[in-house]
Amino acid sequence: MSYGVIGIDSAWVIPALCAAAFFFIVAFMRLFPPSTPLAKHTPNLSAATSILAILLGFILFWFVLADLLNNGPGALSINWLTIGDTILTWGVVVDNLSVVMLGLVTFVALLVQVYSLGYMKGDPRFGWYFGAHSLFAGAMLALVLADNLLFLYIAWELVGLGSYLLIGFRYEKRSAAEAAKKAFVTTRIGDVGLLIGIILLFKATGTFELSAIFHAAEAGGISQSTLNASALLILMGAMGKSAQFPFHVWLPDAMEGPTPVSALIHAATMVAAGVYLVARMMPIFELAPTVLLIVAIIGLITFTFASTVALVVTDFKRVLAYSTISHLGLMMLSLGAGAVGAALLHLVAHGVSKALLFLGAGSVMHGTGGKTEIWEMGGLRKAMPITAVTFLIGAGSLAGIPPLGGFFSKDEVLLSVWDHRNPVFLVLTLAAVGLSALYMARVTFVVFFGKPRNSDIHAHESQPVMWVPLALLALLAAGVGFLAFSWTDSYRGFVGFLEPDEGFHFVAWLTVLSALLALVGVGMAWLAYIRGAISPQRISTRFATIHRILVHKYYVDDLYQWAIDRVVLVFGRFIALFDRIVINDTGVNGPGIAVKLSALRLRYAQSGWLYTYGLFMAFGFVALALIWWLVLA
């Protein structure tokens, strides 16, 4: 079956469309001064351009997928710069990994943008909002298509820019401005590592092309120390973008952006980038087994860390943010077990579910007048039935309730950990799985069940442009897990799709155990927050110290704040002061002052009195005579 010219060769058009939309919107926004009649249409036109671009991208994705399934992977490369003997190239690759991401990103971005039509209605910067969305989506799409580390890094940084612009969208709010800065700086610190890692690989192989680098690495052309170092440094970049401990601090604050932006950041763009990067670089990580173990450990720490914090957070969006961090940890853990397929399946299942949850949260905020404190809500399922049902599906999926999507993907992850890692990993992971079900059920029960807690809130269901995306996402979140199964001979499960060597298999006891743990977590939440049989207050007073540590998020944010204020800024002020006092006032002004002062003294020698001159002459004569006499002697 042939699809004519549209296929893998035109995959690059997908990000290019978004980039073109961005430039068009930026140019168009300033074309008409606010007073002209056309100016009032620019916001809608911007939105239309942006949505059209991503919609075309989503349609193109199906052609690319069809071409891939029929004709296998393909790549494209062009020369970018020639300097001396060095040639730098740009290139795109379409293989099973990138096509999965392509589908996820275009789909989620499309739904989020449509949803935003309703959510952002009437915003004074409506047009710019969609411009930034186009940039963000375009950068992420370029990132997943990149067959070249340099190109990947460029897209990577532009994803960071997109997040900066969107998190700081409401820049008049001090907290939004700070959150945007925090996100950019934190990920930038990770990017220092990424760039160094990339340059190390370039130095070892003389190319940025991924296929060539993998080839060289497998042929033993890169020394083990270089492999270890660059894998570790690339991991650092991935940890920054994917909000892994200890780089996670920016993600909870990132909810300062409009809620649909959070949906995008948490589901498809930005945080997915780090997981994708490690998956893409897996051939390098596999040759550096120590680093792969570190990946697993980081993932596990992040998973348990964020799950415990999510238990005590009371801000609706922050709970979801910590839940994202914990699931990203789970994906990293899976990658650390070498299981690209399981990680990507969880990425997709989580992406769909989390987009659903955030859009649901946005719907709740829209319906309640912008409230985010969960203890002010309650009983919302009556006023917002569609939002409540869809949210329930998303939360159930992430909590791992069978047969929703997250259950199957989590199962694949657990399986990979069981297959490839020490049993200790599995035990700790299972414990955290129970916790993740507990916090997810907690937030759902508190918000949607029980009785309304605040009589000032007059909740109402949102309009169709908002709940239709919710419904679509809910369908997917419920059904995405069936991708895991082996359906035909050519499609041997999602894992087999990404890792041809691995077939579809499962371990019955593990599946049952994880389902049981999830149910236990949900049951405990039910007892605590609906039946009232367990009192969370009593538990928190009983374990006051632990509770305090959790509420303060293990003091990580405070530590960083302290380090920035007390170390980095103080050091900057010290250098500035050093420059002023030591280099300038002493080193530069010093000689000047010295000349001035000595002139002040010496000018008294020119007194104009004859006897002083006579005295100096006498001194001089004696001195010369002495020297003459001494030299002679």
Partner 1 sequence: MATVDSYILFIIMALPMAGAAVILLIPGRRVAAIRWTAAAVALAVMALTFYAFLAYDHDVGGFQFARTWTWLELPGPWPLGFRGIELSLAADGIAVPMVLLTGVVMFTGVLISWKIADRPKDFFILYFLMLCGVFGVFVSLDLFFLFFFYELAVVPMYLLIGVWGSSTDFKTFLRTKEYGAMKLTLFLVAGSVLIWIALIAVFAEGGLGTFNLLALRDAEFSNTFQVVFFPFLIVGFGVLAGLWPFHTWSPDGHVAAPTAVSMVHAGVLMKLGAFGILRVAVFLLPEGADRWMPILIGLGTVNVLYGAFSALGQRDLKYVIGYSSVSHMGYVLMGIATLNPLGVSGAVLQMFSHGIMTALFFAVVGAIYDRTHTRDIMVLEGMAKRMGIVAALFVVAGLASLGLPGLSGFVAELLVFLGLFQTYPVLGILGIIGAAVTAVYILRLIAKVFFGPLDPRWKDQTDASPIERFSSGILVGFIVLVGLFPFPFIRVIDTGVTELLARVAGS
Nearest residue (CB) to partner 1, 48 versus 189: 189
Find the helix or strand (DSSP H, E) in which 305 lies: helix 289-310
DSSP 148: B
Per CB under 8 A, does 619 bind partner 1?
Answer: no
Per CB under 8 A, does 202 bind partner 1?
Answer: yes
Among 16, 199, 465, 520, binds partner 1 (CB under 8 A): 199
| Residues 533-562 interacting with partner 1 (rule: CB under 8 A) | none
Per CB under 8 A, does 90 bind partner 1?
Answer: no
**How far, in Å, CA of 163 to CA of 157, rounded?**
10
Per CB under 8 A, does 579 bind partner 1?
Answer: yes
Choose the stretch contacting partner 1; rule: CB under 8 A; options: 174-182, 257-265, 467-475, 602-610.
174-182
Among 40, 41, 121, 203, binds partner 1 (CB under 8 A): 203
Query: Shortest gap between Cβ of 459 and partner 1 (angstroms)?
Result: 29
Query: Shortest gap between Cβ of 619 and partner 1 (angstroms)?
Result: 35
Using CB under 8 A, count the residues that bind partner 1. Answer: 51
Per CB under 8 A, does 184 bind partner 1?
Answer: yes
Contacts of residue 132, Cβ cutoff 8 Å, sequence gap at least 6: 22, 162, 165, 166, 169
Among 568, 593, 597, 626, binds partner 1 (CB under 8 A): 568
Per CB under 8 A, does 574 bind partner 1?
Answer: yes
Query: DSSP letters along 251-297, please?
Result: HHHGGGS-HHHHHHHHHTSTHHHHHHHHHHTHHHHHH-HHHHHHHHH
Per CB under 8 A, does 67 bind partner 1?
Answer: no
Nearest residue (CB) to partner 1, 76 versus 189: 189
Per CB under 8 A, does 532 bind partner 1?
Answer: no
**How far, in Å, CA of 493 to CA of 418, rounded?**
19
Instruction: Calculate the CA 246 to chain-centre distance.
Output: 13
Among 69, 196, 232, 520, binds partner 1 (CB under 8 A): 196
End-to-end CA distance of the chain: 114
Positive or negative: CA dihedral 371, 372, 373, 377: positive
Query: Shortest gap between Cβ of 277 and partner 1 (angstroms)?
Result: 16
Query: Shortest gap between Cβ of 575 and partner 1 (angstroms)?
Result: 4
Per CB under 8 A, does 31 bind partner 1?
Answer: no
Nearest residue (CB) to partner 1, 236 versus 309: 236
Contact between 280 and 274 under an 8 Å Cβ cutoff? The reply is no
Choose the stretch contacting partner 1; rule: CB under 8 A; options: 49-57, 188-196, 466-474, 544-552.
188-196
Among 221, 500, 572, 590, binds partner 1 (CB under 8 A): 572
Nearest residue (CB) to partner 1, 203 versus 552: 203
Per CB under 8 A, does 154 bind partner 1?
Answer: yes
Per CB under 8 A, does 44 bind partner 1?
Answer: no
DSSP 482: G
Query: Shortest gap between Cβ of 585 and partner 1 (angstroms)?
Result: 10
**How far, in Å, CA of 177 to CA of 164, rounded?**
9
Contacts of residue 81, Cβ cutoff 8 Å, sequence gap at least 6: 87, 88
Per CB under 8 A, does 577 bind partner 1?
Answer: yes
Contact between 248 and 316 under an 8 Å Cβ cutoff? The reply is no
Contact between 141 and 106 under an 8 Å Cβ cutoff? The reply is yes
Contacts of residue 148, Cβ cutoff 8 Å, sequence gap at least 6: 77, 89, 90, 91, 208, 209, 210
Per CB under 8 A, does 569 bind partner 1?
Answer: yes
Q: Rounded to 5, what percent of the chain is helix, strand, coil?
A: 75, 5, 20
Quickly list H helices, 459-568: 464-479, 493-498, 508-526, 536-542, 544-551, 556-562
Binding residues for partner 1 (CB under 8 A): 80-86, 150, 153-155, 157-158, 161, 168, 171-174, 176-178, 180-181, 184-185, 188-189, 191-192, 195-196, 199-200, 202-203, 568-569, 571-577, 579-580, 583-584, 587-588
